[in-house]
Chains A and B, each alone.
Chain A
Amino acid sequence: GESVGLHLPTLSVQEGDNSIINCAYSNSASDYFIWYKQESGKGPQFIIDIRSNMDKRQGQRVTVLLNKTVKHLSLQIAATQPGDSAVYFCAENQAGTALIFGKGTTLSVSS
């Protein structure tokens, strides 16, 4: 079936580096995308969202890029900090119904 997925299950970076976490989605009808951060023992925490009529959106130290041509979503974290270590999920809204999560990428930041 159609689903949201991530390219890599783990990503390790040094403190201060920029991190890029990728996600591929398969449903061209999806029109709303969200990145969540999940720390150990906690629920998913909203980071940033983007609609299909945009290709880039910036927040504080984070940028989401959407490439509808290849159905690709990425999260860029600038100057990664140890506190950014977590599992990152992309999620998509398919046809105005349930929000569907991908498998997650574990980001490890070493100092």
Chain B
Amino acid sequence: EPEVTQTPSHQVTQMGQEVILRCVPISNHLYFYWYRQILGQKVEFLVSFYNNEISEKSEIFDDQFSVERPDGSNFTLKIRSTKLEDSAMYFCASSNQGAEDSPLHFGNGTRLTVT
């Protein structure tokens, strides 16, 4: 069964550094998402992306965050200057229709640790 893959599985970075989290969505999916989960808490929406542009973003997704689909297979999340509170699991998801029509399929996440 096709799956969403994320790399790296664990990223350690120092405060103030830039990080790029990478995702390969399911190949025929058109809608892409990033969510995050602080340890032991619920999964929080960050951003959705469709047709090469952001379709929705949450208040968490401030100017330090950006997303990109640099080619036909990758979908990235960049955090420009990491803060301690950015430490979390970051999940990429994709769907073949919008979130109101089909379930999101999630990757296994990247654990980001900011020191």
Q: Which residues of A contact B (CB under 8 A)?
A: 31-32, 34, 36, 38, 41-46, 49, 89, 91, 93, 96-104
Contacts and interface: CB of A to CB of B under 8 A. Distances in A.
Contacts of A100: 45
A46 B56 CA distance: 22
Interface of B: 4, 33, 35, 41-45, 48, 56, 58, 91, 93, 98-101, 103-109
23 contacts: A32-B100, A34-B103, A34-B104, A43-B91, A43-B107, A44-B106, A46-B103, A46-B105, A89-B42, A89-B43, A93-B99, A93-B100, A96-B99, A97-B56, A97-B100, A98-B48, A98-B99, A101-B35, A101-B43, A101-B44, A102-B42, A103-B42, A104-B42
For A43, A93, A101, the residue with the greatest tally of chain B CB atoms inside 10 Å of its CB is A43
Contacts of A89: 42-43
Q: Chain A interface mostly helix, strand, loop or mixed?
A: strand
Contacts, number: 58
Nearest to B55: A97
B42 to A, nearest CB: 5
Given A89-B43, A93-B100, A98-B99, A42 B108 contact: yes
